[in-house]
Structure formats: structure tokens, C-alpha cells
Amino acid sequence: MGYRSDVRSVIYGPPDKMAAFVFAMRLDQRFKQIFEHFAENLTTKTYRLNAKDGPITVLELDGQGWKWYPSYEEVALWHDFLHEVDKDDTWDGLEYEFIRVGEEADDVQRESSDNPEFLLSLSRSIEIDLDTSQMMEGFPNETDNVTAGQEQAAPSTGVLCDADHVDADHRVGGSADGGDGHGQDPLQPDVDG
């Protein structure tokens, strides 16, 4: 098992400078194994960011569900590899970015060189994890009458409510305008303050 992380990292710059960097790093005995160890997860592509600037070449590392522990030799080596960009003036014009997202919601690690283009960004989304093979069409039988005093789920909201407060359109609160009975839609911001 172990703690897992998603990792994405890029090193980029002018194509000629990137070619020289990758060539030099492949010859360096310390970094040679990076290209072997991460071979399936490394890609190199050239892009044009905009019309006024020249193209850039991007070396990208992309991994999902990895054990990215600083104590692992390859992980420490990758960070050393990134920092080669900043080590001296030899690689001026190259930049790097790194983002690691762990299993915990607040576990995010970001690193970059001094002048990144911010090619990497982090976004979070909310997903619903339901087995779609078990999905049923529509609502339960809508011809069932709601008997006063019974508690049941309101079909449109899934909220447990008192049947006296569910109108004919299955709205909680009994307002025909879909609101709270006071003319305000509960899902819209209060414009009156």
C-alpha cells in the first residue's frame, strides 16, 4: 500500500538549449539512471507559446499514484536533476516546475525555478463516486401520494423531510416558486443583503 502521490514536472526552454541540457544530463553518471527509471513517464515535445516568442521544448515527467518519498533514491535524484537548471549560468534560459499532490487534501508541494512560465497549474474538482451500472431512470413512482405526517425522502432533493412540507412538485418548503416560501431561491445569492 503506502502513501501515494500524483506528480507532474516540466523542464523547458529554447529547443537548442534543451537538447544540450538533455544530452549533458544523459552523459552525467548521476542522472543517466533517471532516463532509464522514468522512461515510460518522460515525454519531450516542442510548442509555440505565442506568435512573438520562439518555440520551447518541454521535457515532462507525469506520474499517477506513485510512492514519491524523498528517501527514495530516484525521487531525490529527480529533485537534484531539476535543480541543475539553476546550478550555474550554463543553463540560463531553462526553467522548471514541479507539483506533487498527495492523498491528503492539503498535501500539495510546488517548486519552480526563478522565472517560470507557470505551465503547470493545479485544479481541484468534486466528483460523485456512484456505480453507474446500478443507475435507475427518473424518479421513483411519482404517482404515489404523500400522506400527511409520514417522513420520506423528497425525490428531487434526496433530503429526508416531513411530508407536510413537500408540495406537489416535490419541493421542500412548499413554495411554488421553488424557494423557501419567501420568494427567494435558496440556491441563489441573497441580493438584498
Tell me what pLDDT residue 147 has: 52
What structural domains and CATH numbers belong to the chain?
5-112 (3.30.70), 145-184 (no CATH)
Which carries the bigger pLDDT value, residue 139 or residue 164? Answer: 139
pTM above 0.75, yes or no: no
**Helix intervals (H) in the chain:** 15-27, 29-37, 73-87
* Dihedral angle over CA of 180, 186, 189, 190, nearest 10: 20
Tell me what pLDDT residue 152 has: 52
Check whether 50 has a pLDDT greater than 80.
no
